[in-house]
Structure formats: structure tokens, C-alpha cells
């Protein structure tokens, strides 16, 4: 059962293998609870294209994420996006466009975002998030 959406920074930490608390959670069987949104997959692909290691090598490193359910930016996510952006713009606390789309997809599905980027995502009303990089 999907309960969590991985943010790009969590995916990068998983690939690098440098974050013990995050890896500990995954070893406890949380892989089955994860999904990826289309925006994060796009960001990972851009990273692969720009990697000094070369596209093919980096693509191999991110390939395991293709096994996760992929959540699109659909009509429901667009509704959430509009609500979130309007609110953040009115209070003068906009976040990055891709982060806004990730938040909208996550919130539209009623899931929890796994991110280390708390400063951005804590501004989004109604978004559940957790930082698995903290012990």
C-alpha cells in the first residue's frame, strides 16, 4: 500500500547510500510503501543527463525507482497546485515551481512526502511530510 512519496533529495541520498537513517527505514520494508511522482522522475533524468559519470551509468543508478508507482501531474493535482500557489503567493512565501508540483501531487493523493527540504514544504497547508534523514 502506497503511503509515501519520495522527494528528489531523498532519491539522491538513496542512490548515494550516505544516509544511515534513511537506509534504515528502507531496510525495514518501507519500499513497498513508496511512490514517485512524475516531477521527481523528470528531475532524476535531468541529473542523469548532466552527470559527469555519463548518462548510461547514472541511469543505471536511478533505475530502481522505475519500479515504484508513478504519480502524474493530473487534473486533481492541478487543482491542488492552484490552491497551494494562490495561498503561498498571497502570504508572500512562494516555493519553487517543481516543489510546488511535487507538493500538489502528494497532497492530491493524501500521501506523505519524504524530504529533507523542510523549509520549503512546511509552508504548504495540508501537506504531510517527514524527514527520514534525521535519526
Task: Return d(Cα 23, Cα 101) in angstroms, integer.
Answer: 26
Q: In this model, does residue 1 exceed pLDDT 80?
A: no
Q: Does 60 map to a domain?
A: yes
Residue 70 lies in a domain: yes
Q: Which DSSP string corresponds to the chain? A: ---EEE-HHHHHHHHHT--HHHHHHHHTTGGGGEEEEHHHHHHHHHHHHH-TT-HHHHHHHHGGGGGS-EE---HHHHHHHHHHHHHHHHTT----HHHHHHHHHHHHTT-EEE-S-HHHHTTSTT-EEE-TT--
Q: What is the pLDDT of residue 65?
A: 94
| CA–CA distance, 14 with 26 (Å, rounded to integer) | 9
If one compares 23 and 96, the residue with the highest pLDDT of the two is 96
pLDDT of 26 reads: 78
Is 125 inside a domain boundary? yes
**Bridge partners (DSSP) listed for residue 6:** 114
Residue 17 pLDDT:
83
Question: Does residue 135 sit within a domain?
Answer: no
Is position 29 within any domain?
yes
- Alpha-carbon distance of 25 to 135, in angstroms, equals 10
* Rounded mean pLDDT, 49-65: 94
| Residue 69 confidence class, pLDDT cut points 50, 70, 90 | very high
Per-residue pLDDT, 63: 94
Which tens digit of pLDDT belongs to each residue from 70-121?
Answer: 999 999 999 999 999 999 999 999 999 999 999 999 999 999 999 999 999 9
Q: What is the CATH number of the domain that holds 91?
A: 3.40.50.1010
Contact (Cβ atoms closer than 8 angstroms) between residue 124 and residue 112: no
* Domains: count for the chain: 1
pLDDT band at 29 (very low <50, low <70, confident <90, very high): low
Segment 28-33 mean pLDDT: 79
pLDDT of residue 66: 92
Range of the structural domain that residue 77 is part of: 4-130
Amino acid at each position: 500500500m502506497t503511503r509515501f512519496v519520495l522527494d528528489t533529495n531523498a532519491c539522491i541520498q538513496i542512490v548515494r547510500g550516505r544516509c544511515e537513517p534513511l537506509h534504515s527505514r528502507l531496510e525495514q520494508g518501507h519500499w513497498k510503501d513508496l511512490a514517485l511522482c512524475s516531477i521527481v522522475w523528470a528531475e532524476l533524468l535531468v541529473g542523469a543527463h548532466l552527470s559527469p559519470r555519463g548518462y548510461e551509468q547514472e541511469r543505471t543508478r536511478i533505475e530502481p525507482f522505475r519500479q515504484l508507482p508513478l504519480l502524474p501531474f493530473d487534473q486533481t493535482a492541478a487543482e491542488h497546485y492552484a490552491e497551494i500557489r494562490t495561498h503561498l503567493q498571497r502570504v508572500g512565501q512562494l516555493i519553487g515551481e517543481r516543489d510546488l508540483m511535487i507538493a500538489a501531487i502528494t497532497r492530491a493523493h493524501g500521501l506523505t512526502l519524504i524530504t529533507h527540504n523542510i523549509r520549503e514544504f512546511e509552508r504548504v497547508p495540508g501537506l504531510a511530510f517527514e524527514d527520514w534523514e534525521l535519526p
